[in-house]
Amino acid sequence: MRPPHATSPPPREPVEAPAAPEGPAGPEPAAAAEPPAALEAASVSDFPRVDELFAGEPPPPPREAAATLRRLRAVLLFAIPLDALGIFCWTGVPGAALTLYAYLASDAEMAHIEAGEYSPDDAAALSRLRSISTFFLYFSVVSFIIQTTLFARGFYNDYADLIARGVMRLWDLFGGGA
């Protein structure tokens, strides 16, 4: 039994094609016949349930990436100088941690980029930030290797001594010791 709310369109009567006119040699071949008016009148709106079934959903709007881009750029703005100074100062570890965060955050967005959830411009910007963070992550690893080598050879003791003597000279030069 059909539910009371389900209605179906009234049954249609079959439509016959008009007979071809007869000529002196018998019936003439039918020219390209136009579709009957009854079939032309049938539109998709006559079948609302079918329309509902096959209409689908419109694609979702692209995700907004402005906040993510701003956050990743700010993190890399601080991380890159820390990475660059990491060989000579103690800033290598915090720089590497910030760079790793930027890499992991941009890598997490790659699934959304591949799913097409971002606009092409935002996807390109996020991919570029991922490439930059990947480069500086590798730079941090190389920096740690260089730091380990320099530390093992006693460079940092000599470096600290050199800096301390330079600061004392400046102190004496500008009258701090008088």
Least confident interval from 67-76, 121-130, 155-164 = 155-164
Compute the residue count for the chain. 178
Domain ranges of the chain: 66-173
Three-class DSSP labels, the chain: CCCCCCCCCCCCCCCCCCCCCEECCEECCCCCCCCCHHHHHCCHHHCHHHHHHHHCCCCCCCECCHHHHHHHHHHHHHHHHHHHHCCCCCCHHHHHHHHHHHHHHHHHHHHHHHCCCECHHHHHHHHHHHHHHHHHHHHHHHHHHHHHHHHHCCHHHHHHHHHHHHHHHHHHHCCCCC
pLDDT tens sequence across 127-155: 999 999 999 999 999 999 998 898 888 88
Angle (CA) 94 71 113, round 5°: 115
Residue type at 2 in one-letter notation: R
Q: Which two tokens stand for residue 112?
A: 């959304």
pLDDT tens sequence across 24-34: 666 555 555 55
C-alpha to C-alpha distances, 114 to 64, 87, 146, 147, 152, nearest whole angstrom: 15, 36, 37, 38, 45
pLDDT tens sequence across 52-111: 666 666 667 778 889 999 999 999 999 999 999 988 888 899 999 999 999 999 999 988
Longest Cα–Cα distance of the chain, Å, equals: 133
Q: What are phi and psi of 28, to 5 degrees?
A: -85, 150
